[in-house]
Amino acid sequence: MLSRRSALKAGVTTGLVGGAGLLVPYLPHAAADTTGTTAMPTATGAAPPAVIPQFGVPLTIPPVLSPTSTSATTDYYTVTMQKAYTEIVPGTKTEVYTYNGSFPGPTIKARFQRRAVIKQINNLDSSVSVHLHGGNVPQDSDGSPMNLIDPGGAKNYTYPNDQDNATLWIHDHAHHMESENVYRGLTSLYLLSDDLERSLPLPSAEYDVPLILRDGRFDATGKLVYELDDHTQRNTILVNGRPWPYFQVAARKYRFRILNASNSRIFSLKLSDNTSFIQIGSDGGLLEKPYTTANLMLSPGERAEVVIDFSGYPLGTQLVLTNPGMPGTPETGQVMRFDVTRTAVDRSSVPDSLGELAPPQTATVNRTFVLRMDEDGRQGAAAYINDKTYDANRIDTRIDWGTTELWTVTNANQYAPHNFHLHQVQFRVLERNGKAPTPDEGGLKDTVRLFPGESVKLLITFDSYEGTYPYHCHLFDHGAMGMMGNMQMG
């Protein structure tokens, strides 16, 4: 079999790269794996899995990147993609891929209608493509799978920031390589703010905290082990690049911007005392109204902004952010711990109204998309949309500019969860399994989860840039196995 790198160089664009092991169900509550990390066998017979203590290191916050220069209309940034080494397994160093040496990469803070131009320099030894997930950007800056920066090269990406406030995600999208490139660390947050958001009395500054969640498989030497579709062995949970960290908080309200940056893990988050989160935002920005919920479900690529109020807890309280009910090991049922260690003044509040979304338009075109992958354990398993694996040179969906469309997307698998992400556009979820969605899916979305047998109806208006953009399952391994298509607008 071709390696993934040589497959890319040879222009092979279909799912030749499938892995085995898909017979292990990964549904909620499935007994996929009840062993601990210490007992897991290795697939390769190499070093045994790492043993990493939980709640042993503090949470770190990614640095905020300063522009290298500014003009009246534009902020200019320079980012270098490079390898770096970080301690995750105690006493060892893990090689990771980074933006600017930081794991995860630095956060970029952008303003509505103020352009950002980011020069991305590739000092890695594989090709990359930089995608602004959730961003409405011109085709040449979208970071599409074949628009690559080769090793030693550089490219300027221009982001107009002509959309609502939102927590966006910069990550790699190189065809057939994105799964491994993101797994190895090519992730950054991109926070787009606007006047409406800044006028709200939400927790801000040091009380506005990103939480980038993901999993990984580490061996005892500290190596980050990558195998395609290896969802049963990525049993270390990282938050902002730290394994199961603790975070010392004041007894007051915090705003958390939670991103699931995993390759394929779906998180279903709860606080250990069942206290509710106040969800204020989702993929495309703030919700119209806060939504109080004890459970946050996030598939890869989805974001949730929540407020947690620690003011009711005595100093000394330890509150665990847990991930119960999802398949995995006992270790993956824990995410991080909040330690309430001090008091602080709190003038923030969560208003009853967070803004108004444009009313949904009427769809004039209906389309259906069926997501399916081989899950019988065959060698060379592939993944499909409407029975086709991805071909970078094929247009799957032609859209007239200005049209509003209703897309029905179904997961036809028995075991494998999927999700569905479109580039360029934010959409509305009109239905989930024939019913109105819950309020966490009631705002602007760019990624929607689909457990086996589920179906969603998405309302999408294509009135922005013309050009060709992909849509795909955002379980990166599935995208790399072919679950991706191209739409052409205009």
Interface residues with Cu ion (CB under 5 A) are 418, 473, 475, 478
> Residue 350: phi, psi to the nearest 5?
-110, 105
Return all residues near 376 (Cβ < 8 A) that are at least 6 apart.
22, 23
For Cu ion, the closer CB: 350 or 481 = 481
Return all residues near 399 (Cβ < 8 A) that are at least 6 apart.
365, 405, 462, 487, 488, 489, 490
Label each residue of 157-199 as H, E or C: EEECCCCCCEEEEEEECCCCCHHHHHHCCCEEEEEEECHHHHH
Query: CA-CA-CA-CA torsion for 242, 246, 250, 252, nearest 10 degrees?
Result: 80
For Cu ion, the closer CB: 161 or 411 = 411
d(CA 79, CA 71): 18
Classified as helix, coil or strand, 252 is coil
Smallest distance from the beta carbon of 485 to Cu ion, in angstroms?
13
For Cu ion, the closer CB: 22 or 321 = 22
For Cu ion, the closer CB: 203 or 479 = 479
d(CA 303, CA 103): 19
Evaluate whether 353 touches 289 at the Cβ level (below 8 Å): yes
For Cu ion, the closer CB: 242 or 472 = 472
Smallest distance from the beta carbon of 237 to Cu ion, in angstroms?
21
For Cu ion, the closer CB: 8 or 475 = 475
Least Cα distance to 384 among 357, 353, 412 occurs for: 412
Return the sign of the alpha-carbon dihedral for residues 459, 464, 469, 475: negative
Smallest distance from the beta carbon of 122 to Cu ion, in angstroms?
27
CA of 435: how far to CAs of 65, 288, 364, 438, in Å? 42, 20, 21, 9
For Cu ion, the closer CB: 37 or 413 = 413
d(CA 386, CA 354): 38
> Residue 299: phi, psi to the nearest 5?
-90, 165
Smallest distance from the beta carbon of 473 to Cu ion, in angstroms?
3
The two three-digit tokens of residue 436, written as one number: 């109105």
Smallest distance from the beta carbon of 365 to Cu ion, in angstroms?
25
d(CA 297, CA 445): 14
Smallest distance from the beta carbon of 300 to Cu ion, in angstroms?
9
Smallest distance from the beta carbon of 345 to Cu ion, in angstroms?
46
Smallest distance from the beta carbon of 138 to Cu ion, in angstroms?
28
For Cu ion, the closer CB: 319 or 473 = 473
For Cu ion, the closer CB: 444 or 475 = 475
Smallest distance from the beta carbon of 329 to Cu ion, in angstroms?
22
d(CA 210, CA 305): 9
For Cu ion, the closer CB: 131 or 418 = 418
Smallest distance from the beta carbon of 373 to Cu ion, in angstroms?
6
> Residue 320: phi, psi to the nearest 5?
-100, 135
